């Protein structure tokens, strides 16, 4: 009887496997039509996206050429206005030509004369240019072959908008080959890309003779589809995609939103669609086989009955019961063995943290929390390279893994793959799990224990902020050393004042309206004995956390008052100086009394001391701060809001608080290249708003002549930045102020 049961068991398992494989293949056969449709739709979506990108790229290239053409026109106009004679102007234009990317350019004089960049007079011009010359706005020629340049060219025509200008317009010639290279408009078995005009005719010489109609006919598109595409282009549509009803080829057409009615057309042949379909089916089969293999392994494990007690003991000792993977003890053992066994392999420890895990444990049932942990564990398990990588869970609930890598981006790709797989699982009880991680790339020469390696990966992870867009941080020894240095600074700061380690620097401000020095800001520098300057970024936040910042604020304010008093006694003229006021200082009892008494004791006149409140401080406790600002102004202080626009913008603060000055953060001057006019409009709006509220406007961080000219055009009152003066010592500041007050013309030459 026992032999009979054993015989049945021996054949039952293989029979079950065969039946499951048959069911699997039947299911895949039924799914093939759905897969084909899915691949076609996905290919259409991808092709449309690629077409948009190529359209945007070509549009960007035209923008760049247009901007340069505009620059050439501006320079030509400038030359004829500012040069002593026409000969010098043309020589200057010729010099400017070598700073451009164009093959040549031609400029048209109001009196009908035509010259190129080398000042050669043109009696006649070619037909390509005649079509553009009469245009009142920027225009683009079709590509044409130039026998002199021996290449295909395209012309950008830029008319002058100034009726008083000697120059009526310029025409810049560019090589089309640059557009081929950057634009990637090519023909291949995987897809073809062209640029056509609104009539459907290819515009480049390399595609000469090709039309949308002939192209689609070669791909076996039905006549109805061809007519729809042509009608779409003639109606100046934006983007359209059509799948051929004959052989599944895909065509997408996207307009180039610039100075011409051209279109990018992208074609994917049916062979590509069928290839992708076959690939998806193969991958589905492969995944199914893998799933079956995993299932078989689990069945075999389930059927194995030997040594159950021993395995149970090993599981209790080495396996995390929630994640069902190695615990930290087992992970450290396995990792140590792998690192020793593979001496030439580069390894990294990755320390994975579930964001807001403490809150998740409070919000969700323990069963749902465990499900999230298991999902992450399953993803890690499936991503491990067998016998070469391992993972586990730490005693504090984080996941850790030992990963192989050749380049740093290999680790980044693996981690991003884990994130994508988590997203594909979806939320648990409505909560989408998010993770970040720290990485320690193992240095074999350091001889660290595995636990020390985990600590370093943990340090890297702890440096990430919960709300940061960055989700992966690598361990750097310097960051670790900086942390130790910061901890050491906490011990030094108590004696720093008594040791006279803090020095006051001054950075002058410049009045754009009156072309003279406007004032200065007092900046503190910490100079450690035998170490040099400690950057403010390393100690200001530290002082704010410890509460020591209020003592530092008082010290800076007192030193400024002493300096002003000394200048008065020496018979020197003084200028207004601003000092920063931290949140901790403003909230302390006796804040008003100390600042007022110190000012009066040193005999500083009203209006010569300015208190700068940081924007973050101005966003809280409006009632308290409003009263204190009014009181300070009553005693002759000027009050300003500092770093406006640095990240805590609150126009309500401007309404609630009676500031005299808005100090714009340098971020306002950082132009967004994709939309520079938006930045200018925003800056102009803030300046106008401040002036409407009766406030002076100061821009800090001004470093370039372009920024200076922009601020002057927008009627900004004053600036502070490297373009005018860097922070300087007290001695240098005295010399600077004396010179600025005595020789006003030198200040004026700065702005000129």
pLDDT value, residue 745: 46
pLDDT value, residue 531: 74
CA distance linking residue 713 with residue 89, whole number of Å: 27
* Residues 342-359 pLDDT 10s: 999 999 999 999 988 888
Query: What SS3 class is residue 155?
Result: strand
Do strands 516-528 and 502-511 pair parallel, antiparallel, or not at all (unpaired)? antiparallel
What mean pLDDT do residues 494-498 have? 73
CA distance linking residue 307 with residue 34, whole number of Å: 48
745: tokens are 């013309």
546: tokens are 């410890």
What mean pLDDT do residues 300-314 have? 58
Longest CA pairwise span in the chain (Å): 120
Burial 123-139 (b: 16+ CB within 10 A, else e): eeeeebbeebbeeeebb
* Residues 206-226 pLDDT 10s: 888 888 888 888 877 888 888
pLDDT value, residue 375: 93
Query: What SS3 class is residue 374?
Result: helix
pLDDT band at 315 (very low <50, low <70, confident <90, very high): low
Residue 405: phi, psi to the nearest 5? -160, 155
- DSSP annotation of 728 reads B
**DSSP letter string, 442-454:** --GGG---HHHHH
Query: To 5 degrees, how large is the angle CA 30–CA 32–CA 34?
Result: 95
Poorest-pLDDT segment among 15-24, 368-377, 396-405: 15-24
What mean pLDDT do residues 522-544 have? 80
pLDDT band at 271 (very low <50, low <70, confident <90, very high): confident
483: tokens are 């942390």
pLDDT value, residue 52: 86
pLDDT value, residue 1: 35
pLDDT value, residue 436: 93
CA distance linking residue 519 with residue 507, whole number of Å: 9
What mean pLDDT do residues 520-546 have? 80
Domains (ranges, CATH) in the chain?
37-305 (3.30.450.20), 314-475 (3.30.70.270), 486-751 (3.20.20.450)
Poorest-pLDDT segment among 479-483, 583-587, 658-662: 479-483
What mean pLDDT do residues 401-424 have? 93
* Residues 673-731 pLDDT 10s: 677 788 888 889 999 988 998 999 999 999 999 999 999 999 999 999 999 999 999 99
Residue 29's Cβ-count burial label (10 Å; 0-12, 13-18, 19+) is exposed
- How far CA 505 is from CA of 184, 560, 602, 725, in Å, comes to 54, 10, 20, 12
* Residues 21-43 pLDDT 10s: 777 667 766 666 677 777 777 87
C-beta of residue 519 within 8 angstroms of C-beta of residue 578: yes
146 has which bridge partners?
151
Strands ordered across the beta sheet of 239-243: 187-188, 191-197, 262-268, 250-255, 239-243
pLDDT value, residue 527: 87
pLDDT value, residue 419: 92
Poorest-pLDDT segment among 93-107, 139-153, 400-414: 139-153
Alpha helices by DSSP H, 636-722:
651-656, 676-692, 705-713
pLDDT value, residue 414: 93
* Residues 224-254 pLDDT 10s: 888 888 888 887 778 888 887 777 788 888 8
Highest-scoring range by mean pLDDT, 177-186, 541-550, 634-643: 634-643
CA distance linking residue 423 with residue 374, whole number of Å: 14
Among residues 259, 201, 203, the alpha carbon closest in space to that of 62 is found at: 259
388: tokens are 């070469």
480: tokens are 């670790």
Query: To 5 degrees, how large is the angle CA 584–CA 587–CA 589?
Result: 115
Burial 233-259 (b: 16+ CB within 10 A, else e): beeeeebbbbbbeeebbbbbbbbbebb
pLDDT above 70 covers a percentage of the chain that reads 87
pLDDT value, residue 638: 96
pLDDT band at 411 (very low <50, low <70, confident <90, very high): very high
Query: What SS3 class is residue 206?
Result: helix
What mean pLDDT do residues 651-666 have? 84
C-beta of residue 394 within 8 angstroms of C-beta of residue 432: no
- Residue 750 has a CB neighbour count (10 Å cut-off) of 15
CA distance linking residue 622 with residue 639, whole number of Å: 15
pLDDT value, residue 298: 65
CA distance linking residue 373 with residue 364, whole number of Å: 13
> pTM score, two decimals?
0.43
Give the chain's length. Answer: 752
pLDDT band at 617 (very low <50, low <70, confident <90, very high): very low
pLDDT band at 46 (very low <50, low <70, confident <90, very high): confident
Mean pLDDT of the chain, nearest integer: 83
**DSSP letter string, 443-497:** -GGG---HHHHHHHHHHHHHTS-TT-S--EEE--HHHHHHHHHHHHHHHHHHHHT
Residue 307 pLDDT greater than 70, yes or no:
no
pLDDT band at 523 (very low <50, low <70, confident <90, very high): very high
* Residues 548-574 pLDDT 10s: 788 889 999 999 999 999 999 998 889
pLDDT above 90 covers a percentage of the chain that reads 37
Residue 431 pLDDT greater than 60, yes or no:
yes
Highest-scoring range by mean pLDDT, 434-448, 493-507, 669-683: 434-448
223: tokens are 């006549």
* Residues 120-136 pLDDT 10s: 998 888 877 887 877 88
C-beta of residue 196 within 8 angstroms of C-beta of residue 212: yes
CA distance linking residue 215 with residue 192, whole number of Å: 10
Among residues 527, 477, 521, the alpha carbon closest in space to that of 497 is found at: 527
CA distance linking residue 106 with residue 116, whole number of Å: 4
pLDDT value, residue 559: 95
Residue 365 pLDDT greater than 50, yes or no:
yes
pLDDT band at 618 (very low <50, low <70, confident <90, very high): very low
pLDDT band at 615 (very low <50, low <70, confident <90, very high): low
Highest-scoring range by mean pLDDT, 104-108, 123-127, 463-467: 104-108
CA distance linking residue 643 with residue 71, whole number of Å: 34
What mean pLDDT do residues 366-389 have? 92
pLDDT value, residue 401: 95
C-beta of residue 139 within 8 angstroms of C-beta of residue 132: yes
Higher pLDDT, 519 or 468: 519
Give the number of C-alpha atoms closer than 13 A to the C-alpha of residue 451, restricted to the C-beta side. Answer: 5
Residue 641 pLDDT greater than 60, yes or no:
yes
C-beta of residue 411 within 8 angstroms of C-beta of residue 350: yes
Residue 305 pLDDT greater than 60, yes or no:
no
pLDDT band at 7 (very low <50, low <70, confident <90, very high): very low
Q: Where are the beta strands (DSSP E) in 546-591?
A: 577-581
C-beta of residue 633 within 8 angstroms of C-beta of residue 610: no
Burial 520-545 (b: 16+ CB within 10 A, else e): bbbbbebeeeeeeebeeeebbebbee
Higher pLDDT, 202 or 245: 202
């Amino acid at each position: 009887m026992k032999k009979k049961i054993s015989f049945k068991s021996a054949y039952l398992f293989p029979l079950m496997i065969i039946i499951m494989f048959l069911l699997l293949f039947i299911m895949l056969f039924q799914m093939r039509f759905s897969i084909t449709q899915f691949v076609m739709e996905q290919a259409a979506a991808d092709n449309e996206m690629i077409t948009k990108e190529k359209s945007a790229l070509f549009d960007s290239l035209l923008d760049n050429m247009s901007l340069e053409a505009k620059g050439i026109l501006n320079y030509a106009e400038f030359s004829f206005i500012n040069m002593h004679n026409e000969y010098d102007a043309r020589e200057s234009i010729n010099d400017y030509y070598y700073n451009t990317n164009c093959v040549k350019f031609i400029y048209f004089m109001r009196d009908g004369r035509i010259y190129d960049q080398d000042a050669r007079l043109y009696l006649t011009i070619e037909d390509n240019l005649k079509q553009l010359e009469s245009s009142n706005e920027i225009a683009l020629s079709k590509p044409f072959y130039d026998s002199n340049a021996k290449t295909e060219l395209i012309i950008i025509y830029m008319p002058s908008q100034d009726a008083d200008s000697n120059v009526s317009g310029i025409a810049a010639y560019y090589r089309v080959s640059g557009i081929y290279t950057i634009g990637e408009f090519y023909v291949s078995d995987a897809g073809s890309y062209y640029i056509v005009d609104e009539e459907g005719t290819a515009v480049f010489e390399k595609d000469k003779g090709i039309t949308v109609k002939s192209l689609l006919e070669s791909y076996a598109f039905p006549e109805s589809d061809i007519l729809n595409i042509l009608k779409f282009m003639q109606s100046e549509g934006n983007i359209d995609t059509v799948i051929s009803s004959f052989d599944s080829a895909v065509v997408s057409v996207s307009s180039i939103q610039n100075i011409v009615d051209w279109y990018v057309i992208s074609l994917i042949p049916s062979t590509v669609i069928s290839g992708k379909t076959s690939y998806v089916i193969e991958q589905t089969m492969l995944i199914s086989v893998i799933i079956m293999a995993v299932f078989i392994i689990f069945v075999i494990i389930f059927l194995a009955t030997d040594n159950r007690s021993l395995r149970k003991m090993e599981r209790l000792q080495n396996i995390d019961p929630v994640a069902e993977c190695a615990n930290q003890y087992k992970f450290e053992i396995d990792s140590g063995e792998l690192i020793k066994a593979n001496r030439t392999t580069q390894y990294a420890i990755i320390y994975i943290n579930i964001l807001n895990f403490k809150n998740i444990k409070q919000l969700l049932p323990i069963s749902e929390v465990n499900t999230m942990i298991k999902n992450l564990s399953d993803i890690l398990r499936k991503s491990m390279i067998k016998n070469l990588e391992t993972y586990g869970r730490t005693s504090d609930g984080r996941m850790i893994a030992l990963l192989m890598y050749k380049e740093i981006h290999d680790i980044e790709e693996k981690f991003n793959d884990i994130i994508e797989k988590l997203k594909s699982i979806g939320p648990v009880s409505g909560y989408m799990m998010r993770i970040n991680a720290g990485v320690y790339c193992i240095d074999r020469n350091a001889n660290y224990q595995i636990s020390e390696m985990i600590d370093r990966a943990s340090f890297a992870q702890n440096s990430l902020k919960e709300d940061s867009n960055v989700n992966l941080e690598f361990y750097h020894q310097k960051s670790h050393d900086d942390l130790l240095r910061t901890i050491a600074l906490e011990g030094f700061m108590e004696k720093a004042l008594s040791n006279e380690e803090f020095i006051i620097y001054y950075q002058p401000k410049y009045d754009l309206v009156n072309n003279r020095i406007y004032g200065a800001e007092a900046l503190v520098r910490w100079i450690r004995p035998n170490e040099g300057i400690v950057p403010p970024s390393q100690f200001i936040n530290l002082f704010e956390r410890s509460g020591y910042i209020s003592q530092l604020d008082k010290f800076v304010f007192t030193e400024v008052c002493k300096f002003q008093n000394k200048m008065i006694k020496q018979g020197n003229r003084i200028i207004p100086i601003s000092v920063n006021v931290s949140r901790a200082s403003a909230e302390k009892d006796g804040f008003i009394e100390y600042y007022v008494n110190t000012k009066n004791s040193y005999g500083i006149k009203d209006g010569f001391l300015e208190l700068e409140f940081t924007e973050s401080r101005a966003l809280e406790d409006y009632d308290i701060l409003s009263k204190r600002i009014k009181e300070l102004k009553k005693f002759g202080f000027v009050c300003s809001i500092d770093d406006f626009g640095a990240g805590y913008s609150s126009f309500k603060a401007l309404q609630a608080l009676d500031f005299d000055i808005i100090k714009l953060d340098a971020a306002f001057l950082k132009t967004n290249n994709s939309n520079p006019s938006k930045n200018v409009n925003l800056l102009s709006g803030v300046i106008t708003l401040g002036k409407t509220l009766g406030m002076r406007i100061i821009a800090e961080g001004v470093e370039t002549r372009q920024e200076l000219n922009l601020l002057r055009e927008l009627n900004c009152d004053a600036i502070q930045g490297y373009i005018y003066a860097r922070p300087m010592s007290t001695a240098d500041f005295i010399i600077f102020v004396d010179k600025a007050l005595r020789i006003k013309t030198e200040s004026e030459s700065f702005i000129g």
